Structure 1
């Protein structure tokens, strides 16, 4: 079995200046120069690098041994997690550190937002709130880190700062289905900045960046003006359940320690369409089975209806059309997404 590539992403939120809006989410449009997912709207993030797990971070991050960082991943029906990525190398920091460092580094590379703190501010942050740190020659540093991830260590040493990893809350774990060529095991983290920070796309991986409410992004998706992949689509629908950023901040501590379910979509290809079944669906068997694609040219989508449904109708490019939920209860204290959104312009 080929291993998935490990990736890390931040769902970065901020208060909306419009009192009629709840909060805004940072979204980036991937450049059409990308061979993987061109022109797709995503959250900032990317693959991990060896330097993200370097022992150097122990010298950089104050009170690292006092941080309580949750990275509890739970298998389907509380069974063991399906291991599709390699462990960190010996003599390196643990994944609860390295994945957060990778997410912060990638966010800086793709958006220019640097979620770091000065070492003089070494008190442990437990509020899930953070802010952009402006440093001298930040544009030059950004280019250096884009070309060599290990330069992020140099950035922190020379600017007397450290990545604000304790502000990142573990939110979800999505794995690409085996049908796609580039497969990733992505951990998504939530973080909150006090106000919308000016964002600049890098012009290489990303071509556009903006702060939008979940409603704004999903409305554009419905009209066919935005392309979303399954994790972003699902998580935006989940965020739509929160009426305010205060409601989200109140919800987060309730989930600490409960863990996040490992999500591997099961692909079903039939005569009149394609389904991706998600854990908890009545037709979803287990994680191992999700690694096999089901084909049946004699069956229809309706043949797979069941009492409990947790699934997404997708296009032939495996892009989401509509989330279908019926009698499904989210596991481990998480929230069930909003469902009345679907793409009508295909």
Structure 2
């Protein structure tokens, strides 16, 4: 009886220490987010003094320096929202597919949204923000369904390796189709190529307002899927035995990821690797419990994209690198490391 009591006490102590460590990491990530947010507003291709920064934050735009700060504020907000959305979508996709390589870019979802937008511009002459967003979400959904269907064919069903291969092939094919469509339209080629790199430059609060309802819906659906994803991590049979409707759990979590990917791609272009890097980092910090992993991924993804945007402004002064290029430099080596370390096992 005493031994059992000691084990119970040790278990409670371990849980308390784990919770304390998670809260400590949470505080650290929030502080880092605040620091990167300040840097995103203060640092850029044009050096601006703190008096002008404070004046612009207070709504005064009476000089070129203050106008530069006023332009950085919506850019900072967009980077924060987009980073959170992409990282959260990556964590959801990895949970739904139990694939450590799942990512909106690797599974072809971002490129599906891109192809849909390019086709919409070229053939259907879409122009409004709402049309862009709905078109991107539809393209993301079709791409996700297509990749999952292809990856499910044959023996063994949708294994991580088959999904990664199907997604990579689909992404390459969709990218080629985008080029083929754009080649015949010189009037839109420059804008589309620039948008395809992925970036948060030129952000305005008007554009953010249009996409915000879709992001809020995606965030809500995603965070409500945490308990379902914990059940799915035990295996389909175990999840069903615990009373979980497996198909519904997967569909609802996938819907959240598609909304986040589609809306973000519509406004920023296809930004890769954020959804791959961040969830793996967050698992090292807070473990595999999706009730912690999902919000941590969102906060850490916002930090990553803000820092990548700041870095892109600094390394190429007086010009700047789009954030999609910076995340690719970070994400590509990380992708190789995951493949070597995980050997494409299931989560």
Give the TM-score of the pair, scaled to structure 1: 0.27
More helix by share: 2
Larger radius of gyration: 2
Of structures 1 and 2, the one scoring higher in RCO (CA 8 A, sep 6+) is 2
More strand by share: 1
